[in-house]
Amino acid sequence: MAQWQGPAPHPDGVRLQKVLAQLGFGSRRVCEELIADGRVTVNGGVAELGRRVQVETDAVTVDGVPVGVAPGLVYYLLHKPAGVVTTASDPEGRPVVVDLVPDDPRVFNVGRLDTETEGLLIMTNDGELTQRLTHPSFGVPKEYLAAVEGIPSRAALRTLRDGVELEDGRTAPAKASLVADGATVTPGGDDVSLLKLTIHEGRNRQVRRMCAAVGHPVTRLVRTRIGPLADRQLKPGEWRELTTAEVRSLAESSAPGPR
């Protein structure tokens, strides 16, 4: 017996290659090839050329990665200010991130930032994407700007890159560089430097612990990138919806398999 593969094709839907081309997969010709090569599924079944779809209801994937946005799912990019807690509620009554974005539908933060850490945080009701983005095995890169005490030596930077021994084990290789002209002297006469760090893990207070371990405690920490997502316009406390293309690139960046 044939396997049921979701709703019947819509005779009045939009041609699949047109939908994919509009989503940025390439020209219609390229998208026809994707379909002909069997890389596109609709509602779980491999799509055939000429297939029409209803973008609001049909579930389309390319190479196993969902395209478009399923109805009811929302995705926000928030610039978390310092002092706001990354939980749904705080027993101590401190401000929480869910209060900074629309409350209907209910959304949750993807991963955590320390209360004192600022910067980009994804909020969504898409549990599957959340799981993929936060699962250590997918290792989505996250970039931070850290103001640190002192001026890290080349050796300290190398240690940050190669791996730092922490009490919960050695950190995975990371990117670490001094931001040019990032070194300044405070009015008190102390040196401070600006470090750019990219890590793939998500351990508790990881950047702060890594910097402290090489002798340069963090005085301010801002997350500036999550995988493909960055936004220099977003001010602390502001949020915006992710575009369909951004949701797709996030899903791709956290997809299983070679990257």
Write down the residue that tokens 């398999």 correspond to. 257
**Which positions from 150 to 189 touch ligand URA by CB under 6 A, shown as an x/- string?**
----------------------------------------
Give the span between the Cα atoms of 60 and 133, in whole angstroms. 20
Give the span between the Cα atoms of 240 and 243, in whole angstroms. 9
**Window 202-221: residues binding ligand URA (CB under 6 A):** 205-208, 221
CA 226 remoteness from chain centre: 4
Q: Which is nearer to ligand URA, 17 or 171 (CB)?
A: 171
Q: Which two tokens stand for residue 233?
A: 């316009």
Window of 5-13, 113-121, 185-193, 238-246 that interacts with ligand URA by CB under 6 A: 113-121
Q: How far is the CB of 221 from ligand URA (least distance, A)?
A: 6
Give the span between the Cα atoms of 19 and 6, in whole angstroms. 19
Active site residue 191: no
Tell me the torsion sign for CA atoms 101, 103, 105, 110. Answer: positive
Q: Which amino acid is at 34?
A: L
CA 161 remoteness from chain centre: 21
Name the active-site residue from 12, 90, 103, 114.
114
Q: How far is the CB of 33 from ligand URA (least distance, A)?
A: 41
Residue 224 makes contact with ligand URA by CB under 6 A: no
Write out the residues near ligand URA by the rule CB under 6 A.
113-114, 117, 205-208, 221
Catalytic residue numbers read 114
